[in-house]
A and B are shown apart, each in its own frame.
Chain A
Amino acid sequence: MVVISDIIVQGVQMLLVLLLAPLLTGYVRKIKARLVRRQGASVFQPYRDLLRLLRKEVVLADNASWLFRVTPYITFAAIWVAAALVPTFATGLLFNWTADLIAIVALLGSARFFLALAGMDVGTSFGGIGSSREVMIAALAEPAMLLIVFCLALVAGSTQLSTVSHFLASSYVGLRVSLGMALVALFMVAIAENARIPVDNPATHLELTMVHEAMILEYSGRHLAMIELGAFLKLLLYVSLIACVFLPWQIALYGSGALSYTIGAGAYIVKLALAGFLLALFETATAKMRVFRVPQFLGAALMLGLLGTLLLFVSRSF
Chain B
Amino acid sequence: MSAVALQMVCVAGLLGLAALAIVLSRSKIATPVIYGATLAVSVIALAGALRSLLGGAADATTLTLPVGLPWLGAHFRLDALASFFLVVINLGGASASLYGLGYGHHDPAPHRVLPFFPAFLAGMNLVVLADDAFSYLLCWEFMSLASWALVMAHHRERGNAKAGYVYLVMASFGTLALLLAFGLLAGPAGDYGFAAIRAAQHTPYAATLVLILMLLGAGSKAGLVPLHVWLPLAHPAAPSHVSALMSGVMTKVAIYGFIRVMFDLLGQPTWPASVVVLFLGSITAVMGILYAMMEKDLKRLLAYSTIENIGIVFVSLGLAMAFQANGLKAAAALAFTAALFHALNHSFFKSLLFFGAGAVLTATGERDMDKLGGLIHRMPFTSFVVLVGCVAISALPPFNGFVSEWLIFQAVLQSPELPQWALKIMVPAVGAMLALAAALAAACFVKTYGVTFLGRPRGTAAEAAHEVDRFSLTAMFILAVLCLLAGILPGLAIDALAPVTTEILGSRMPAQASQPWLSIVPIAESRSSYNGLLVMVFITASASLAVYFIHRFASHALRRGPAWGCGFSDATPAAQYSGVSFAQPIRRVFGTLVFHARDHVTMPPPGDLRPARLRIELHDLVWSGMYAPIADAVGFLSTRLNRLQFLTIRRYLSLVFATLVTLLLVLAIWS
Residues of A within 8 A of B (CB): 54-63, 65-67, 73-74, 76-78, 80-81, 84, 95, 97-100, 102-103, 106-107, 109-110, 112-113, 116-117, 119-129, 131-133, 135-136, 138-143, 145-147, 150, 153-154, 157-160, 163, 207, 217-218, 221-222, 225-226, 291-292, 295, 302, 305-306, 309-310, 312-313
Q: Which residue of B lies closest to A68 (CB)?
A: B454
Query: Which residues of chain B from 334 to 377 have any CB-CB distance to chain A below 8 Å in the complex?
Result: 373-374, 376-377
- A123 CB contacts on chain B under 8 angstroms: 373-374, 454-456, 563, 573, 576
CA A81 to CA B543, docked complex, whole Å: 10
Residues of B within 8 A of A (CB): 373-374, 376-377, 387, 391, 394-397, 402, 406, 409-410, 412-413, 416, 421, 424-425, 428-429, 431-436, 438-440, 442-443, 445-447, 449-451, 454-456, 519, 525-531, 534-535, 538-540, 542-543, 546-547, 550, 553-555, 557-566, 571, 573, 575-577, 581-586, 588-589
- B583 CB contacts on chain A under 8 angstroms: 132
Name the distance in Å between B286's Cβ and chain A's nearest Cβ. 10
Q: Which residue of B lies closest to A94 (CB)?
A: B534
Assess A113 versus B442: contact at CB under 8 Å? Given A63-B455, A306-B429. Answer: yes
Assess A121 versus B413: contact at CB under 8 Å? Given A54-B553, A56-B555, A110-B397. Answer: no
Partner of A76, one of B373, B525, B543: B543
Name the distance in Å between A258's Cβ and chain B's nearest Cβ. 25
Q: Looking at chain B's contact residues, is the secondary structure mostly helix, strand, loop, or mixed?
A: helix
CA A210 to CA B539, docked complex, whole Å: 29
- B438 CB contacts on chain A under 8 angstroms: 142
Cβ contact within 8 Å between A131 and B391:
no
Cβ contact within 8 Å between B397 and A99:
yes
CA A78 to CA B555, docked complex, whole Å: 23
Cβ contact within 8 Å between B455 and A122:
yes
Q: Which residue of A lies closest to B429 (CB)?
A: A306
CA A62 to CA B562, docked complex, whole Å: 5
CA A112 to CA B438, docked complex, whole Å: 14
Q: Which residue of A lies closest to B569 (CB)?
A: A124
Cβ contact within 8 Å between B585 and A133:
yes
- A116 CB contacts on chain B under 8 angstroms: 446, 450
- B374 CB contacts on chain A under 8 angstroms: 63, 123
CA A84 to CA B589, docked complex, whole Å: 34
Cβ contact within 8 Å between A158 and B566:
no
CA A218 to CA B562, docked complex, whole Å: 10
Q: List 8 A-B contacts (CB under 8 A).
A: A77-B546, A103-B397, A106-B397, A113-B446, A123-B563, A139-B440, A147-B431, A147-B432
- B454 CB contacts on chain A under 8 angstroms: 65, 67, 117, 120-121, 123
Of the listed residues A112, A116, A136, A138, the one surrounded by the most CB atoms of chain B closer than 10 A to its CB is: A136
Partner of B581, one of A117, A126, A128: A128
Cβ contact within 8 Å between B577 and A163:
no
CA A150 to CA B374, docked complex, whole Å: 41
Name the distance in Å between A179's Cβ and chain B's nearest Cβ. 16
Assess A76 versus B589: contact at CB under 8 Å? Given A58-B559, A98-B519, A131-B582. Answer: no
Cβ contact within 8 Å between A142 and B436:
yes
Name the distance in Å between A161's Cβ and chain B's nearest Cβ. 10
Name the distance in Å between A235's Cβ and chain B's nearest Cβ. 18
Q: Which residue of A lies closest to B558 (CB)?
A: A58
CA A74 to CA B398, docked complex, whole Å: 12
Assess A113 versus B396: contact at CB under 8 Å? Given A57-B558, A123-B454. Answer: yes
- B412 CB contacts on chain A under 8 angstroms: 150
Cβ contact within 8 Å between B563 and A106:
no
Of the listed residues B436, B525, B543, B576, the one surrounded by the most CB atoms of chain A closer than 10 A to its CB is: B543
- B585 CB contacts on chain A under 8 angstroms: 132-133, 136, 291-292
Cβ contact within 8 Å between A138 and B413:
no
CA A84 to CA B545, docked complex, whole Å: 15
Cβ contact within 8 Å between A218 and B525:
no
Cβ contact within 8 Å between B577 and A147:
no
Name the distance in Å between B456's Cβ and chain A's nearest Cβ. 4
CA A139 to CA B394, docked complex, whole Å: 12
- B559 CB contacts on chain A under 8 angstroms: 57-60
Cβ contact within 8 Å between B396 and A95:
no
- B456 CB contacts on chain A under 8 angstroms: 63, 123
Partner of A97, one of B394, B450, B455, B529: B529
- B431 CB contacts on chain A under 8 angstroms: 146-147, 150
Cβ contact within 8 Å between A132 and B577:
yes
* 20 new A-B contacts at CB < 8 Å, known A100-B530, A147-B428: A55-B555, A67-B387, A99-B529, A106-B402, A109-B442, A110-B396, A113-B394, A120-B582, A123-B373, A123-B456, A128-B450, A136-B585, A141-B439, A143-B432, A143-B433, A146-B435, A154-B413, A159-B413, A310-B425, A312-B416
Partner of A98, one of B394, B526, B531: B531
Cβ contact within 8 Å between A160 and B527:
yes
Cβ contact within 8 Å between A67 and B446:
no
Name the distance in Å between A19's Cβ and chain B's nearest Cβ. 14
Name the distance in Å between A255's Cβ and chain B's nearest Cβ. 16
CA A99 to CA B535, docked complex, whole Å: 8
CA A129 to CA B554, docked complex, whole Å: 31
Q: Which residue of A lies closest to B375 (CB)?
A: A65
- B535 CB contacts on chain A under 8 angstroms: 81, 98-99, 103, 107
Assess A124 versus B564: contact at CB under 8 Å? Given A100-B529, A160-B528, A313-B416. Answer: yes
Assess A54 versus B554: contact at CB under 8 Å? Given A107-B397, A123-B374, A158-B526. Answer: yes
Cβ contact within 8 Å between B443 and A127:
no
Q: Which residue of A lies closest to B583 (CB)?
A: A132
Cβ contact within 8 Å between B406 and A102:
yes
Name the distance in Å between A316's Cβ and chain B's nearest Cβ. 10
